[in-house]
Each structure stands twice: as C-alpha cells, then as structure tokens.
Amino acid sequence: MTDRTRRPATFRLDDPHVTVMDGDDDIGRLARGAIRITPEPEPQLPVAMDEPLRPARKGFGWGTLFWSALGGLVLLGTGLGVANLIRDLFSINDGLGFLGLGLAALVSLALVVIIVREALGLIRLATIEKLHARALEVIASDDRSESRAVLADLLKLAHSNPRLARARTALQAHAGEIIDGADLIRLAERELMSPLDIEARRLVSVAAQRVSVVTAISPRALVDMLFVFAAAIRLVRQLAKLYGGRPGALGMITLLRHVISHLAITGGMAASDSIIQQALGHGIAAKLSQRLGEGILNGLLTARLGLAAIDVTRPLPFTALPRPQLADLARDLVRKKEEANL
C-alpha cells in the first residue's frame, strides 16, 4: 500500500529509489521505501488545420430570381401602360399627346439620374470600405509602396472637402519623404481624420441630446420610436457625408446593414448597458424623473449607434487617434440633463 502519511520531501529524478511508472504498472514489484512518480497526462490541445474552413456552397438563388423577374414584369407593365396612355392622349388631342410624351421623357431622365447617383453612392461606399481594409493591411505589413497608393486614393476622396485643404497640402509635402508605410498611414490619419473626428463627435452628441430631450417630453411611445428611427437615419447620413460617403437610398440601406452588423459583432448593446448602469446607477437616476431617465437611455443608444456608424464610414482605422468613447458622451448627456433639471 502507498504510505499516505509521508511528509513532503525533495529528491532527484536520477535517484535509484525514484521510479517513474504508468498508472497500470504493478506497485507490488517496487522495493520498500521506493518513491513512485506517476506522470499526469498532458491536455489535448486543438490541432491547427492546414486549410481554413470554407463556407458552405450556396444553392441556386431562387429569391434573387423571383425579385428580378418580378421587377422586370413591373417595369414592362409600367412601360406598356405609359405607352398606351400616350397613344390614347394623341388620339384625343395632339397637344395632350405631346404633353404626356414630354412628361414621360422627364420621368425617364429623372430615373436615369437617380440610378446613376445611386450607383455612384454605392461605388463611393465600397471605395471607403476598401480603403479601410487596405489601411489595416498596410499597418500590419508596413508596405511602403502600398501606403503611397492608399494615401493617393485617400487624397482623391478628400479632394472635395474644403476644410481639409491644409491637411492635403501637408500630406502631399510628406508624400515624397522616406517614411515607413505604417507611419505614413498614421500621419494621414492625424492630418485628415482629426478635424473630421471632432465634427463627428459633435454630430453624435447633438443627435443624442436631441433624442433624449424629445423622448423625455413625448407623451406617446410610437412618437418616440419614429423620432429615434428618423434621428438615427439622419445621423448615419450626416456621418457618411462627413467622411466622404454621400450615400443614396440604396447606399443608406447598405450602410445601415453594415452599422447593425458592426454593433452585433462588437457587442455594442452590452457595452451600452454597462455605460447606462454607470450613468444611471450611481444616484443619478434617483435625482431624475422616470421620463428623463428614459430620455437618457434613448440618447445613449443613439450615441452608441453613431459611434458604430463612425467606425463603418471612416476611411481609416483608429490607430494614431483615440477612438470616441461612449462614456464621454454619456457624461456630457447626463450633465446636460442635470443642468436642465436644475
């Protein structure tokens, strides 16, 4: 039997009285007073796969086929209806026929302009998203030539913004210097993104305060929901235009989908809950009415949505400049509410 009353002692592994045994070995063959060591099994670590997991191959897009066919039928029906209307107008009076033909031409021209504008908006949003990804790759690889290419595309994007004229001149002066790729991206962020980040933080703060005030005094929950939704759409559009996006209707749908996906990935709602608990849990909620507390809650959620929109619409990642924090906006919002309550 094993002596369980043995006191702790030190020994060497090369001592002849020390025997390393497996769990299945016979203990009876050991000499009296010998020391037995049973190694513990090592934990099984996950084995790295040589090839990454590939997503499952999608089947035939019946939904895409349905909506495409339905859209084609609607366009054919609309065109046929307009053609019949113009023919009927000509049969009644030539003046009415030419009037209908002119209106149809104006509608067609406006439709073409809208389609081109939506396409340009989608292309611009895709360009910003690619710039963001390329900047992250340059910071990781420190590729000098790729950093120059990213800087050139970034200057083209910021060309139409008059408030960035001085920053563009400074960056063009540094473009020919010997600077590492990652440092050049950080320099571009400090020069170009700093004034835009200040304005973006102001837009988010103003939108959060407006939502907080309106939802605090609104008598209906439906009015609160509609106003918060409209304020969120307006805030995302303003941030996209600030950073050079200029999205149209389809671009806004894509942008909102990206913002919501970013919130889901980064755990934005959980972060908002912790900030709300800090803001409302340390005696502040007791000083405010229930409606004011709900207003602060809606304002903080709007601010969190705005911060996610900044991450999505910003053409460069936050590396050289600090990321706007929800805690700072929460303190500003609570301070405004306390001043209004006094």
Among candidate residues 191, 184, 194, the one with its CA nearest the CA of residue 167: 191
Measure the CA dihedral 258/261/265/270, to 10°: 120
Q: Do 188 and 151 contact (CB within 8 A), yes or no?
A: yes
Whether residue 235 has pLDDT greater than 50: yes
Supply φ then ψ for residue 20, to 5 degrees.
-90, 120
pLDDT band at 30 (very low <50, low <70, confident <90, very high): low
Q: Do 213 and 97 contact (CB within 8 A), yes or no?
A: no
Task: Answer with the residue of higher pLDDT: 95 or 268.
Answer: 95
Is 190 in a helix, a strand, or coil? helix
Two structure tokens written together for 131: 């710039």
pLDDT band at 103 (very low <50, low <70, confident <90, very high): very high
Q: Please give the pLDDT value at position 188.
A: 87
Q: What is the pLDDT of residues 167-178, one digit of tens each?
A: 888 888 777 777
Helices (H), 191-322: 194-217, 221-242, 249-266, 268-281, 284-287, 290-313
- The span from the CA of 87 to the CA of 70, in Å, is 26
Q: Please give the pLDDT value at position 169.
A: 83
pLDDT band at 77 (very low <50, low <70, confident <90, very high): very high
Most confident of 44-53, 125-134, 255-264, 297-306: 125-134
325: number of Cβ within 10 Å: 13
Q: DSSP 3-state helix, strand, coil percentages of the chain (rounded to 5)?
A: 70, 0, 25
Whether residue 27 has pLDDT greater than 70: no
Whether residue 270 has pLDDT greater than 50: no
Measure the CA dihedral 156/157/163/169, to 10°: -30
pTM: predicted TM-score of the whole model, two decimal places: 0.66
Two structure tokens written together for 33: 């007073």
- The span from the CA of 274 to the CA of 281, in Å, is 10
Look-up of token digits 């002066």: 173
Mean pLDDT of 5-29: 60
Q: Please give the pLDDT value at position 287.
A: 46
DSSP state of 26: -
Task: Answer with the residue of higher pLDDT: 217 or 339.
Answer: 217
Q: Please give the pLDDT value at position 102.
A: 93
To the nearest whole number, what is the mean pLDDT of the chain? Answer: 76
Q: Do 304 and 268 contact (CB within 8 A), yes or no?
A: yes
Whether residue 196 has pLDDT greater than 50: yes
Supply φ then ψ for residue 7, to 5 degrees.
-80, 155
Mean pLDDT of 237-261: 82
Q: Please give the pLDDT value at position 60.
A: 62
Q: Which has the minimum average pLDDT: 22-31, 83-92, 265-274, 310-319?
A: 265-274
